[in-house]
Amino acid sequence: MDARDALMVGTNSDGKPVARPLSPHLQVYRPQITSAMSIFHRITGVALGFGTLLMVWWLMAAAGSAEAFARVQWFLGSWLGVLMLVGWTAALFYHFCNGIRHLWWDAGRGLSIPEVEASGKLALAASAVLTVLAVVVAVIA
Amino acid sequence: MAGGVGRASLRSGLGRVRGLGSARDGVSHWWMQRLAAVALVPLSVWFVFSVATLRGASQAEVQAWIASPFVTVLLLLVVVATFIHLAMGLQTVIEDYIRDGVVKLASLLAAKWACTLLGLASVLAILRIAI
């Protein structure tokens, strides 16, 4: 038990112990673009971290034997590999666009609610466009 | 007033000027995370679209691409900025969500070690091809 649990324990008017609620948390809020995009930024960030394994594998195989390179090429060309690459690209461009949004906020700009919602929609649209563009480039290459 | 501030404060004038706070590193973690992020803005776009055009390339073609001096330098920057940014981002997430001290410390070490290992492996692979 830590301090936050201790704060939740109280007694009712009969003296019986009860678990009191903390201040309103995620479960009582209607989903909003602001909170959803915030947590999705972290999720994509962590996912991209695991995705770097693909990049490292590819780089090490390129520096290694012909068999090693053939293996990584085979995997990246399989349906699972393609799915991971497209997912990685989408996650990267989402994190990229929303990251620029964060940098803009860090500069103290665009912090009003209408601006935050507009920039969120813009970041979503831009990341979709960039992802499609990268897939198109890969397909015609 | 102590330290010349217009309000009462227990912090010494020197401590305030140093601006390092109780964690002793001030805003350096925050700032480094942003420096890496800004570097990754052009680098990540270049990386994704370059690798996209390499689809189906032979090992010799990939090696020739990595070995061209401009690409070597940019790839090294991609790798270094990525793993610095990743290590700091993972640290923030772990510190935010893991309460238990032992699990938190173990997770932080695992994240740092993994980022260092993967970053060094990438740098080695690039240099091995390029040099």
Instruction: Tell me which residue of B124, B30, B125 sits closest to B85, measured CA to CA.
Output: B30
Give the model's pLDDT for residue A12.
82
- Residues B52-67 pLDDT 10s: 999 989 999 999 999 9
Residue B59 touches partner A, C-beta closer than 8 Å: yes
Model's pTM, two decimal places? 0.85
Compute CA distances B107 → A1, A83, A135, B3, B93, whole Å. Answer: 20, 28, 35, 41, 10
Torsion of CA A44, A49, A50, A54, to 10 degrees: 110
Distances (CA, A) of B49 to A127, B42, B62: 14, 11, 14
Chain B, nearest residue to A105 by Cα: B34
Give which of B27, B95, B122 to mutate to test A binding, by max A Cβ within 10 Å: B122
pLDDT in tens, A60-86: 999 999 999 999 999 999 999 999 999
Model confidence at A7, pLDDT cuts 50, 70, 90, reads low
Question: Does B45 contact A96 at a Cβ distance shorter than 8 Å?
Answer: yes
Task: Decide if B45 touches A, using CB distance below 8 A.
Answer: yes
Report which residue type is found at A80.
L
Could you give the percent of chain B with pLDDT greater than 90?
Answer: 74
**Among residues of chain A, what percentage have pLDDT more than 90?**
76
Contact call for B122 and A59, based on CB within 8 A: yes
A6 has pLDDT over 50: yes
pLDDT value for B3: 47
Task: Grade residue A8 by pLDDT with cuts at 50, 70 and 90.
Answer: confident
Tell me the average pLDDT across A124-130: 98
Query: How confident is the model over A122-140, as a mean pLDDT?
Result: 96
Confidence at residue A44, expressed as pLDDT on a 0 to 100 scale: 97
pLDDT at res. A11: 79
What's the CA gap between A130 and A94, in Å, rounded?
9
Segment-wise mean pLDDT, segments of 10 residues, chain B, 131 residues: 59 84 84 96 97 93 96 97 97 92 96 98 97 90
Q: What angle do CA A31, B94, A97 make, to 5 degrees?
A: 50
pLDDT of residue A30: 80
Q: Which positions in chain B touch A71 (Cβ < 8 Å)?
A: none
Which of A56, A103, A138 is facing B38, going by the closest CB pair? A103
Which residues in chain A are contacts of B53 at CB distance < 8 A?
137-138, 141
| Residues facing residue A19 across a β-bridge | A9
Which residue is closest to B40 within chain A, CA to CA? A96
Per residue in A42-62, pLDDT (tens digit) is: 999 999 999 999 999 999 999
Cα torsion A63, A65, A66, A71 to 10°: value is -90
Q: Long-range contacts: B29-37, Cβ < 8 Å, 24+?
A: B29/B88, B29/B91, B32/B84, B32/B88, B33/B85, B33/B88, B33/B89, B33/B92, B34/A103, B34/A106, B36/B81, B36/B82, B36/B84, B36/B85, B36/B88, B37/A99, B37/A102, B37/A103, B37/B85
Would you say A85 and A51 are in contact if contact means Cβ atoms under 8 Å apart?
A: no
Per residue in A87-96, pLDDT (tens digit) is 999 999 999 9
pLDDT for res A84: 96
Distances (CA, A) of A128 to A79, A96, A132, A134: 21, 11, 6, 10
CA nearest B64 in A: which residue?
A: A62
Distances (CA, A) of A85 to A10, A56, A129, A135, B57: 51, 13, 16, 9, 16
